[in-house]
A = this chain, B = another copy of it.
């Protein structure tokens, strides 16, 4: 594709500052962009790249640069928009033609398909996939090579299972679900009773996992089946890579769970919860709606709705920040207290 800067501005409702007739032949990041390419600037910290980039035109957040306050030496053509990242995404899809999910349905004759399997229209099954008995798969779902789908699993329409995903028996997956490579759904929950002097006794894990519609799960994620009933991931929730979700966890709708988070057994998260990277949530706690758990926080007890918590143990983020700030005074304070003690002793001597 090739078009003018003015045409791009029209597509995203932006205002051109510079030359609208410049030709754009591709898109790229601000550091890597070459002549003829469009890039974007959405964070103030990258402002210094504005003149360094080789891009021909730059989508810029109008909150970052006011037209009247433009650096006078800016030779680049800018397109001012409300949300440069979103606008760039829109243009990116115009310039990109790759379709990640193979478009035509095709069942490889090098796949193993059990008995009683029901496949919708245009399902794609790549080589070396195993589909066990009584599995159901909806229309236009794509199952890539090396995927294992256990007995009685049901998968909705328009899903994409990337290579080497494992979905164990009876797991239920909705429609428009994307699961990245190496992820395991339905491994046994970690349930063992210690028996003094003997082997820990395994507690049977006979429940399942339910993934609702529009969920996306990153690579190398583990989601355990419930002891009985369900571990559940709510509609539209997105999970990053290497996340551990234990048995009987319930996650609400539209949550974002970032990389390497761990959620212990039977924890319950509301809707629109954000759990930032490497955070942990202990077992049997409840987290309210619209709550954010900061990076590396450890949630050790129930958290209400509409709050931000951080630290270990996780507490109100403002309070945690004050604690953090007072900690930096600590080495000085140790010295101060020791000095004050001496001055008090000296005062006490004089007073006796």
B-contacting residues of A (Cβ < 8 Å)? 27-29, 32, 43, 45, 85-86, 89, 92-93, 96, 98, 100, 108, 110, 112, 126-128, 130, 144-146, 148, 150, 162-164, 166, 168-170, 178, 180-184, 187-188, 190, 192-194, 198-200, 202-204, 206, 214, 216, 218-222, 224, 226-230, 235-236, 238, 240-242, 244, 246, 248, 254, 256, 258-260, 262, 264, 272, 277-278, 280, 282, 284, 295-296, 298, 312-313, 322-331, 333-334, 336-337, 340-341, 343-344, 347-348, 350-351
Task: Assess whether A260 is in contact with B244, with CB atoms less than 8 Å apart.
Answer: yes
A140 CB to closest chain B CB (Å) equals 17
- In whole angstroms, how far apart are the Cα atoms of A7 and B227 in the complex? 23
CB within 8 Å for A146 and B148 given contacts A190-B241, A200-B236, A347-B348: yes
- Residues on B with C-beta less than 8 A from A218 are 187-188, 190, 222, 224
- For this chain, the copies found in one complex come to 3
CB within 8 Å for A295 and B282 given contacts A192-B256, A340-B344: yes
Seed contacts A182-B183, A194-B256, A262-B277; 11 additional CB < 8 Å A-B pairs: A92-B204, A166-B182, A180-B188, A184-B220, A187-B241, A219-B222, A222-B241, A323-B331, A326-B331, A327-B327, A340-B341
